[in-house]
Structure 1
Amino acid sequence: MIKATNIQKFYGELQVLKGVNLHIKKGEIISIVGASGAGKTTLLQILGTLDTQTDIENSSLEINNIEVTNLSDKDLAKFRNEHIGFIFQFHQLLPEFTALENVCIPAFIKKAPKEKAESRAKELLDFLGLSHRHNHKPSELSGGEQQRVAVARALINSPSIIFADEPSGNLDSESADNLHKLFFELREKFGQTFVIVTHNAELAELADRKLVMVDGNITKSDQEVLDNTIVE
């Protein structure tokens, strides 16, 4: 599913990632934890193709058996739209659009027919308990509801991988618990792989594997597990 080898990232002379190796199997829910500044979000952005590693010649990133570093910008954008979904801490919903319209945006980018996109969006919103919120704008939704709209948006194109960066960090405890349970329900229903950066200890422990980042790399104990992982 995901095979990252020797992922490095420099910002000027500061090395944020120091040769990360990572194998993730299809259908896994992986949590990535660590202190602020350990490189978690940078790693997530590179795995999600929102950013690129510094030393591409001596590293590789395969997603669904495709070496994404070999793709042109246009092909990479298409790949990201079709294969990857994102959930962010602050939702990133467009305030002028309704919940339904926000969910449809990735499908419209994919050039899906309007009727098909809206039908799929309604199905997802209904599944997430938002059947009565289709036509409400973000300002009319609670924090938990906004985050579920963001989850629906991430799922609209049926991506194989969902990357989430502190998805429950801006939610109250009840909404956070509901969101955590939802990830596992989605994995069972749709078969997605989840890679989640989180400071939430409960969510981190619920994951199939918890990866600990320290000073730009995954700790040795977790690396030994990864080296013995069969990649699908």
Structure 2
Amino acid sequence: MIHAKNIHKYYDQLEVLKGVDLHIKKGEIVSIVGASGAGKTTLLQILGTLDKPNSTKKENQNTENGTLLVINNEDILKMNDKTLSKFRNLNLGFIFQFHQLLPEFTALENVCIPAYIANKPKQETEKEAKKLLEYLGLSHRINHKPNELSGGEQQRVAVARALINKPDVIFADEPSGNLDTHSAENLHQLFFQLRDEFGQTFVIITHNEELANMADRKLIMIDGQISNP
């Protein structure tokens, strides 16, 4: 499902990722933990195609010599920006600590956005979005805007938005970091329900030990490298 090899990332003189190797199977829930600054979010952004890796040598960082990033049998590093953007929207879903819902749109409209970007029909999209919101216990909140929803409800809307295009992989960066304990526990259980229901692969960065230990596999990042790949 995800195969990354020899992933490096530099920011000026700082080497953030130092040759990361990683293999994640389809339907697996993997947590990534580590101290702040270890490179977790940078790795997630590269795996999620939101950023690109550098080569193994800083002086040649505009090439991908020796690096490999394959997701769902697609060679990500060979895609141009337009192809990559389309692949990302159809195959990958994202959940962040701060839900990043658009405040002027309702819950239903926020969920529909990725499908509209993919040019899916409005009627079909709204039907699927309502089904997801109902599944997530939000059928009575579909016409509410984000400022009318609790933190837990907003995050569940963000989960529905991540699922609308039926992606193969969900990337989550501190998804419960901004939630109270009860809402966080519900969200954690939801990830496993979604995996069982829809078969998605989850890659989750978290400081929450409970969530990290619930995962099928916990990876630890230390100073730009990962253990137990």
Counterpart code for 1:52? K
Is residue 32 from structure 1 mapped to residue 42 from structure 2 by the alignment?
no
Unaligned stretches of 5+ residues in structure 2 = 56-63
Deviation sequence 1:64-114 (CA, Å, 0-9, x none):
111101001000000000100000000000000000000000000000000
Equivalent residues, number: 221
- Given candidates 59, 68, 74, the residue that maps to 1:60 is 68
TM (norm. structure 2) is 0.96
| Distance in 2, Cα, partners of 1:57 & 1:113 | 41
Deviation sequence 1:36-57 (CA, Å, 0-9, x none):
0000000000000000001112
Q: What is the root-mean-square deviation of aligned Cα atoms in Å? A: 0.4
| Distance in 2, Cα, partners of 1:57 & 1:126 | 47
What does 1:1-232 align with in structure 2 at a 5 Å threshold?
1-55=1-55, 56-219=64-227, 222=228, 226=229
| Distance in 1, Cα, partners of 2:19 & 2:86 | 27
Counterpart code for 1:181? Q
Cα deviation for residue 58 of structure 1 reads 1.7
Deviation sequence 1:135-171 (CA, Å, 0-9, x none):
0000000000000000000000000000000000000
Secondary structure at the aligned position of 1:53 is classed as: coil
| Distance in 1, Cα, partners of 2:114 & 2:73 | 23
| Distance in 1, Cα, partners of 2:77 & 2:114 | 22
Deviation sequence 1:159-218 (CA, Å, 0-9, x none):
000000000000000000000000000000000000000000000000000000000001
| Distance in 1, Cα, partners of 2:65 & 2:30 | 27
| Distance in 2, Cα, partners of 1:144 & 1:85 | 18
Unaligned stretches of 5+ residues in structure 1 = 227-232
Counterpart code for 2:18? K
Secondary structure at the aligned position of 1:93 is classed as: coil
TM (norm. structure 1) is 0.95
Percent identity between matched residues is 71
Counterpart code for 1:124? L
